[in-house]
Amino acid sequence: GGIDAAVHAVGAGTRRLGELARRPQTGQLHRYYLGSVAVLVLAVLFLVVVR
């Protein structure tokens, strides 16, 4: 159902973020910033969906 799909999507997103985090660090601050913003957005979306 819808809940299963949402949980699957969150899991897939988490795996994708993990893959991105494993890439070698470049020292480029804008990449770190964008990654942090992406994690924050996903966390907020997760909280909105759960409520």
Of 50, 51, 40, 46, give the one whose Cα is nearest residue 11: 46
pTM over 0.85: no
Q: Give the model confidence (pLDDT) of 1-51 as tens digits.
A: 888 888 999 999 899 888 877 765 666 777 778 888 999 999 999 999 988
Give the span between the Cα atoms of 51 and 35, in whole angstroms.
25
* C-alpha atoms less than 13 angstroms from C-alpha of 46 in its C-beta half-sphere: 14
**Total number of domains constituting the chain:** 1
Range of the domain at 13: 2-50
